[in-house]
Structure 1
Amino acid sequence: MTLTVFFSAPAVWEEYRDLLPGLLAEAGIDARVVTEASDPAVVDYIIYAPSAPLQDFTPFTRCKAVLSLWAGVERIVGNQTLTQPLCRMVDNGLTEGMVEWVVGHALRHHLGMDRHIVNPGHVWDATCPPLARERKVAMLGMGALGTACARALAALNFNVVGWSRTEKTTPGIQAFHGEAGLEAALRGADIVVTLLPKTPETENILNAARLSWLKPGAFILNPGRGPLIDDAALLAALDSGQIGHATLDVFRIEPLPQDHPFWSHPRVTVTPHIAADTRATGAAKVLVENIRRSEAGEPLLHLVDRARGY
């Protein structure tokens, strides 16, 4: 029987138009890929992006799984009409992009590169930075992305500690978990990277009290989710000097409104949600593998736990 795969993310269809059918055929999967579901009851799989128009999954009575193109699923996981299994996107290209962004900006702040790159006064500042092993980096979130970034920074000799909501072990990385472990991870940190999912438990996890635990002048990197940081508390900490600089890739509202104070703050760098983008060449292989696994009766990859929210 020919499978029907509904590609419901029109904004990125051109990237997958030729790639996806070819990979399905190479995998021996007899499938047709459609961009309109005139009869939802015959759809076997939905390829989805949370920004897509599709919001009501009720008519898709035969659908075996919803395969998201995004790593984050907070916009869809609470949808009451979604009763099908939901898989988030995890692929090597996305992970590599995140590692490059985190390592690049961590080194930028560690080495104080801004003062040389942007130096209109031609100031001869020969301040020597400490070595990486003298910098404590707190990685909040030790999932696939956080673990990859933590390992890359540790390979450069940064003193990396990892924190997660539940206990996790990563060789070579000192691990903390739970509420009690959060202060231990943050206390005295020079650099904090936030790579947690957005859940009720993680929203505003970096508030005024927790920002005060960091080493004065610490750097914040947030490529995870905008609501992980209390915006007002961060601005106050930047103004006081408790936080030396914040490099932010994600925000509560995107695109970031033109009148938001982050744009004009001298100690904030705004990047437009580019830290880890889904690249079609890698993502299509993940989609096809999950369809193959489902048809073979094997467990799906990257299945979302609805109770945990990711």
Structure 2
Amino acid sequence: MKITVCLTNIKPEPWVDSLRALLPQADVSVWQPGSPVADHAVVWAPPQQFIDEQAGLKTLFNIGAGVDALLQLRLPPTLQVVRLDDAGMSVQMAEYVSHAVIRHFREFDAYERDVREGKWSYRKPNLRADFSVGVMGLGVLGARVAKTLQAFEFPVNGWSRSAKQLPGVQCFAGAQQLNAFLSSSRVLVNLLPLTPETENVLNQATLSQLPPHAYLINVARGRHLVEDDLLALLDSGHLVGATLDVFRTEPLPAGHAFWTHPKITVTPHTSARTLRDESVAQIAQKMLALEQGRTISGLVDPRTGY
């Protein structure tokens, strides 16, 4: 079994060393232009040259959950793309979203402002029953987030393209139920995969369906959000705030309105980071399964983008 590693802006050697330790029978190397064709590849944002030169490659293992960047490349129809199922990301995402929801619900951002000004303030507690949280996207990450929020006794709604059932979650599905989902969600959490159908899904029309004084948390992709529409809804008061971890251009450019907007909290795409040891273990297990002719989870359908 021959494995090549092609990671843009990520040091590949630790990944190579970990793969060699778990798969001592395999030939594992860092890809260079002109390298021999491998059986499997571990990649992050590979160039088109890599895809073109590795024409006989069987499987492409992406080290992140989202594969939108890969699907923009010209991929051979026989090449299987595999995403990580979890590898430690879902618990991180649940932590991040829960923190953002609770910070807003408990008004900790307002208390922080008061403390900076030397004010000892009091705010009437909000009621959880009034703070329904809507999770867009009920894959591995979305389902974990929905389950975690229930532990804090928030009412949780979920929306997905196809019908799903999650214990304790009011589930909506399809375009025909999107507005009903939005109108019943005081806090909106976006965890959708980025596809041609979901790009710009967070726009004036959809975000206006949220109840007045709603709050947005975007932890999926920056291209889901129409930035000017968010700013307009914040300035009008229809939305009271947003926590944004992903952006159309990363790093977020200096001088961008999001940096200084008083109603926006910015974090540097850190909601759920890839954990190398967990990821390599999962990838190695899947490679062995494929070599033994067994089926694996995480295969991406190029028609849907996930």
Q: Give ranges in structure 1 of 5+ residues lacking alignment.
A: none
Q: Is contact 2:13-2:30 (8 Å) kept?
A: no
| SS of structure 2 residue aligned to 1:58 | helix
Tell me how far 1:62 sits from its aligned partner.
3.5
SS of match in other structure, 1:18: helix
Residue number in structure 2 paired with 1:20: 19
Residue 109 (structure 2) pairs with residue 114 (structure 1) = yes
Residue number in structure 2 paired with 1:88: 83
Q: Which amino acid aligns with 1:152?
A: T
- Relative distance call for 1:19 and 1:136 in structure 2 (3 A) is same
Distance 1:69 1:203 in 2: 22
Letter in 1 for 2:83: R
Amino acid at match of 1:91: D
Aligned pair in 2 of structure 1 residues 17, 60: CA closer, same or farther (>3 Å)?
closer
Q: Name the counterpart of 1:166.
A: 162
Unaligned runs of 5+ in 2: none
Q: What amino acid does structure 2 have at the position aligned with 1:298?
A: R
Superposed counterparts of 1:22-171, under 5 Å: 22-25=21-24, 30-37=25-32, 40-50=35-45, 52-53=46-47, 55-83=49-77, 84-119=79-114, 120-171=116-167
How far apart are residue 37 of structure 1 and its match? Answer: 4.7
**Residue 198 of structure 1 contacts residue 227 of structure 1 at CA under 8 Å; is this kept in 2?**
yes
Deviation at 1:39, TM superposition (A): 5.5
Deviations 1:71-119 (A, max 9, x none): 1111111322343100012224111111111111111111101122232
Among all aligned residue pairs of Structure 1 and Structure 2, give the percentage whose two residues are the same amino acid: 36
1-side partners of 2:291 and 2:193: how far apart?
A: 29
Q: Which residue of 2 aligns with 1:9?
A: 7
Matching residue's letter, 2:134 = A
> How far apart are 1:188 and its partner, in Å?
4.1
Q: How far has the Cα of 1:12 moved from its partner?
A: 3.0
Counting matched residue pairs gives 303
1:117-173: per-residue Cα shift (whole Å, max 9, x none)?
232333333213223343111111111111110110012111000001111111211
Q: For 2:41, give the aligned amino acid.
A: I
CA RMSD of aligned residues (A): 1.7
TM-score, reference length from structure 2? 0.93
1:209 to partner: Cα distance:
2.2
Using the TM superposition, give the Cα deviation of residue 280 of structure 1 relative to its aligned residue in structure 2, in angstroms.
0.3
TM-score by length of 1: 0.92
1:121/1:61 CA distance change after superposition, 3 Å:
closer
Moved more, 163-172 or 79-88: 79-88
Counterparts of 1:171 and 1:251, CA distance in 2: 32
